[in-house]
Amino acid sequence: MAVLVTGGAGYIGSHMVLALIDAGHDEVVVIDDLSTGFDWALPPEVTLVRGDVADQALVAETIRTHKIDALAHFAAKIVVPDSVSDPLGYYLANTVKSRALIEAAIGAGVRHVIFSSTAAVYGEPAVVPVPEDLTPNPINPYGRSKLMTEWMLEDAARAHGISYVVLRYFNVAGADPRGRSGQSTPNATHLIKVATQAALGKRSHLEVFGTDYPTPDGSCLRDYIQVSDLAAAHLVALNHLRGGGASMTLNCGYGRGYSVLEVIDVVKSVSGVDFPVKLSPRRAGDPSRIVAGADRIRAELGWVPQHDDLRGIVTQALAWEEALGRRNRV
């Protein structure tokens, strides 16, 4: 039995690949078009199929050749403000292409699917921390594009007798504790990545997008989950499905929110650099606060996070950013 990881050369997917290898899974296959991923992020024992997840012939051949029973689908476009300016591009990448992938995967014999969804499906939730059974109400095209894929997967699983786990990630951050991978996108927009780049002088300053939100300090609140903890959640989800477990949808977060200004303070404290910060207007598509109701995944899958510590997450992100600079990569 082998696992196909779409988007495995990307930030989170590469940590999933490492988690699979570390756990002794001997056949891991990645399909990735390298649009935002890097082949060097993959260990040498992993098979990389370079291509598009919507190429149904390629997907079917890959699944049959490697006798794949489980699919972990990470490949997507992921930047919320870009989805506001290019909604149709996001619906194509995240919804239309996922439809093609799911059809090809089921047709070729895949039995289990783990899907990378997002807290963005909740939009601006009335309840915080947000439980999984709150009716989704995304406020940007990114969240909508992902929610439609959740629905397609749920319907297709019911019709074709396969099982799935939808994981709704909150804000993913940090890097592999052993320094093997991290967030490598040069023009990434994620707060902790941008802040570490500002601390290391790769950016002149950091902008805070909005200080007039209805939150304690006026900046947005997010629940930052460490990337290897998230990968570990996928492993327990995989074991659950292969063991005959039921389909389910689970939040992935720690259940605690930090404001943008709090995160900046931690990055300044850990790095020892008082980099310039500019207070700017709100960014399109941002909800004010989003924190995971984090109990269900622990109860259902027995997931126990190992890295629930913002200072530790920032320390890992800084170390990875420094290593990228040393390697002259990005």
Ligand X SMILES: NC(=O)c1ccc[n+]([C@@H]2O[C@H](COP(=O)([O-])OP(=O)(O)OC[C@H]3O[C@@H](n4cnc5c(N)ncnc54)[C@H](O)[C@@H]3O)[C@@H](O)[C@H]2O)c1
The residues binding ligand X (CB under 6 A) are 6-7, 9-13, 31-37, 52-53, 74-76, 78, 93, 97, 116, 118, 169, 171-172, 185
- Among candidate residues 173, 175, 172, 176, the one with its CA nearest the CA of residue 21: 176
CB closer to ligand GDU, 41 vs 291: 291
> Three-class SS of residue 283?
coil
Least separation in angstroms between CB 207 and ligand GDU: 5
| Distance set, CA 229 to CA 15, 118, 122, 253, 306 (Å) | 9, 16, 22, 9, 6
Least separation in angstroms between CB 276 and ligand X: 25
Task: Compute the distance between CA of residue 141 and CA of residue 149 in angstroms, rounded to an integer.
Answer: 12
CA gyration radius, the chain:
19
Cβ atoms of 316 and 175 within 8 Å: the answer is yes
Of the candidates 11, 164, 209, 258, which one interacts with ligand GDU according to CB under 6 A? 209
Q: Is residue 49 a contact point for ligand GDU (CB under 6 A)?
A: no
Q: Which does 283 bind (CB under 5 to 8 A by kind): ligand X, ligand GDU, none?
A: ligand GDU
Q: Which does 76 bind (CB under 5 to 8 A by kind): ligand X, ligand GDU, none?
A: ligand X
- Restricting to residues 290-309, which ones interact with ligand GDU according to CB under 6 A? 290
Q: Is residue 119 a contact point for ligand GDU (CB under 6 A)?
A: yes
Q: Is residue 286 a contact point for ligand GDU (CB under 6 A)?
A: yes
Which pair of structure tokens corresponds to residue 180?
């093997």
CB closer to ligand GDU, 73 vs 111: 73
| Distance set, CA 248 to CA 113, 165, 241, 297 (Å) | 11, 5, 10, 10
The DSSP bridge partners found for residue 37 are none
One-letter amino acid at 97 equals K
Cβ atoms of 47 and 25 within 8 Å: the answer is no
Q: Is residue 80 a contact point for ligand GDU (CB under 6 A)?
A: yes
Centre a 10 Å sphere on the Cβ of residue 233 and count the other Cβ atoms it contains.
26
The DSSP bridge partners found for residue 143 are none
Single out the catalytic residue among 142, 164, 224, 258.
142
The DSSP bridge partners found for residue 96 are none
Centre a 10 Å sphere on the Cβ of residue 269 and count the other Cβ atoms it contains.
12
CB closer to ligand X, 83 vs 163: 83
Q: Which does 289 bind (CB under 5 to 8 A by kind): ligand GDU, ligand X, none?
A: none
Q: Which does 286 bind (CB under 5 to 8 A by kind): ligand GDU, ligand X, none?
A: ligand GDU
Q: Which does 46 bind (CB under 5 to 8 A by kind): ligand GDU, ligand X, none?
A: none
Q: Which does 206 bind (CB under 5 to 8 A by kind): ligand X, ligand GDU, none?
A: ligand GDU
Return the DSSP state at 203.
Answer: S
State the pairing for strand pair 68-73/2-6.
parallel
In the residue annotation, 142 being an active-site residue is answered as: yes
Please choose, out of 14-22, 104-112, 116-124, 244-252, the segment that lies near ligand GDU by the rule CB under 6 A: 116-124
Task: Compute the distance between CA of residue 237 and CA of residue 161 in angstroms, rounded to an integer.
Answer: 17
Give, to the nearest 10 degrees, the angle between helix 227-242 and helix 11-22: 60
Question: In the stretch 178-197, what mask flags binding to ligand GDU with x, by CB under 6 A?
Answer: -----------xxx--x---
CB closer to ligand X, 7 vs 136: 7
Indicate which residues carry an active-site annotation.
Answer: 142
Site of interaction with ligand GDU (CB under 6 A) = 78, 80, 118-120, 169-171, 189-191, 194, 206-209, 220, 222, 260, 283, 286, 290
